[in-house]
Amino acid sequence: MLSQFKRAMASFPNRLLASDPGFIRLQFASRIVGSLILAVGVLFLTHGLLKLPLPAMSIGVMLCLFTSVLVRDQKLGAQRLTVLIAPLPGLVTFNLAAALHGHTILTDATFLLIIFVAVSLRRFGPRWSGLGTISYVGFFIGSYLHPPLSMVPQELVAAAIGTASAYASRFWIFPERPVRKARSILHAVRRRMADLLEGTRDVLRAGAPGERGERLLRDRLANLNGTVAMAESFLDAIIADEKTMRELRAALFRLQVSVERVVELVVSGRGKQEPDADRALAGIARHLRAAQPYPEKMSEEEPDLGRSAARQAAKAGVDPDAARLDLALRELRIARSTFAEASHFLWAEDIRNTDRQFGIGAVQQPIPGPASNAAALRLAAQVTIACGLAIVGGELLSPQRWYWAVITAYFVFAGTNSRADTFVKTFQRLVGTVLGIAAGIAVASLLSGHVLLETILVFPCLFAAYYVFATSYGALVFWITIAFSLLYGALGYFSSGVLLLRLAETLIGCISGGLVAAFIFPVRTRRLVWDALGTYLGSFEEVVKQATLTLRGEDGKPIGAIRKHGANARDLRNLMRPLTQSWGIMGPRSSGRVLAVLLSCDYWLRELAMLSHSEGKLVDATMLEQVEQASGTLCASVASLREDLAARQQPPNFSVRSKIDEAADRVQAEGEGGEAGKSSLGLLRIYRMLDRGLGQARTQLGKA
């Protein structure tokens, strides 16, 4: 039992890294809680000297919290500037609310105006989005506490302490270490690959994946692809040396495709275990799990030797599935070693020298560009109307606690693209609040009278909340609700009635947000999805075209095209998430099948990009003509489907497989088993699989 516990503890950091690549979420939560602990400690020490009133201390803590959460500029210098100017809008709106105290109608009208402006500012980028939210929060805290204007000097002291705490936590205590983060992210990528290969070993041993095993491998493969995309985005942002980044990107892509190829062979039943396959998988997985990648002593000719050996074995009567798997494993070993060589500079002893040599700078991951003016104004109008309804309903229920309804109505629109997104988020907010109140009542009742313990436990709850900030909105609300329950208990305000009132106000905010999303300037999820499908198919076609250019010997960029296509695929997946929820209330189940079919094509597109990049020289002019004809036929099929989607027409069942098969027959007749013929047939097989995926997508779209 003790040994199992020790093994579990020893593997915990690696498991944490696999679930949180680069420890980005861990650093985010640590920064926030660290800044709050520092701010609260300094404020209490200052209170002993200057007797800071509660409203002043509250605005200091609020500015510290929201500055830590909302500063999302990409460049380090821009982050510093945003942290330093963040207190200004919060202090202004805090005192504006205090000055308007007693004028209810004027206060509410001003609050709605601030909300409209704050949301409108989001289109100007992350800095203005953060400043707008801070101004909104400052006004409602001022409306609740209504401090006298004579308190402004103490507020300035508290704001300076809160801002300094956020600055120190972000830039000194938990600073950006780009090289270490790059190492950590790449280690997470390799660990996910190792986990995927371990699952593949289990399938090989069992002889067949089964439905559950296949689903597990597919999920792990999707997680791997997401982690690789995140790694590429981060590395693109920090590595300025173009040649180094190009080599690293190509090596990572090659390794990703090689892992996918092994998994696809096993899942499809076209790769069977031979005596050395299990041992080879175990060895590759062990190398991938190593803290630092290291190359093996292998020649670049080994894949070609392995390919020839596999084909000779097939001719000699050896099981072709076993030979195919052996070839894939050989290519995976080479890809792993190539990646280790391409990324070795990140493990140089002198990190500072590495920074200078490769132009590595401390930046956050790239932030998506601001929304269009029309979309930003539409969202601002929706949020303002929803908050207006929440103010009316909240004040009718409780003139003192109405702000809970407004907070809910404001934040359920954050990060949403459509009304279905908003419905899902309101549901998550409500469920998180209900469960958090139940847990909060239990915990606060259990710890009643232990003020110090209640205060201390607030910080772990906030850490848990912001650790899941980017992954689960419901869990975020759950932990914040528990933290507030403990805080109320420590301040002597706790009662089950207060928490139940919070639940009722949250319900009012959810209803307000849901009604506005449904009926005021609604954005239908299906319209966004169909537009995203058109974009997805456009990049699909571009990958095929770039691969064809590469096969011709021209300057095609299939790897760049597949990266852009991957981003479009992730956008499509995010937009379709409300339609594929397990409870099935957001749309037909065929939506999930459409997504699964289209995303399964991505594997074959990556294979196409890799083969055109690595084996294009093997395709001679005679074979190239047949491959180009098949490529053009496939592109025409994709264009036809995209036109049907743009016209909102039901796509007819349509396949170009017969034309691809004709090209394959001609290649087989002309190639006579040579290397050029084998490579051409491999490309045509990919076109055939892509055509099959498009046909299945047409069928499912007809049902959607």
List, for residues 550-576, the tens digit of each pLDDT value: 888 788 888 889 989 988 988 888 888
Q: What's the confidence (pLDDT) of residue 309?
A: 46
Tokens of 439: 């847990």
d(CA 386, CA 403): 13
Q: What's the rounded mean pLDDT across residues 19-32?
A: 90
Q: Across-strand partners of 75?
A: 363
Measure Cα distances from 555 to 87, 616, 620 in Å: 51, 12, 17
Q: What's the rounded mean pLDDT across residues 617-632?
A: 70
User: Which residues neighbour 510 within 8 Å (Cβ) at sequence distance 6 or greater?
Assistant: 408, 409, 412, 426, 427, 429, 430
Q: Tell me which residue of 280, 274, 279 sits closest to 322, measured CA to CA.
A: 274
pLDDT band per the 50, 70, 90 thresholds, residue 497 = confident
Q: What is the dihedral of CA 291, 293, 295, 301, to 10 degrees?
A: 130
Q: What is the DSSP letter of 20?
A: S
Question: pLDDT, tens digit, for every residue of 384-408?
Answer: 999 999 999 999 998 888 989 999 9
Q: Is the model more confident about 685 or about 152?
A: 152
Sign of the dihedral defined by the CA atoms of residues 500, 504, 509, 514, in that order: positive
Question: pLDDT, tens digit, for every residue of 343-379?
Answer: 888 887 555 555 545 555 555 544 444 456 788 899 9
How many other β-carbons are positioned within 10 Å of the β-carbon of residue 678?
A: 17
pTM of the model: 0.87
Domains of the chain, CATH where assigned:
26-176 (no CATH), 178-358 (1.20.120), 374-523 (no CATH), 525-703 (1.20.58)
pLDDT band per the 50, 70, 90 thresholds, residue 381 = very high
d(CA 394, CA 399): 7
Question: pLDDT, tens digit, for every residue of 166-220?
Answer: 999 999 999 988 888 888 889 889 999 998 898 888 877 776 666 677 777 777 8
- Cα–Cα–Cα angle for 155, 85, 83, rounded to 5 degrees: 100
Q: What's the confidence (pLDDT) of residue 8?
A: 52
User: Which residues neighbour 226 within 8 Å (Cβ) at sequence distance 6 or greater?
Assistant: 570
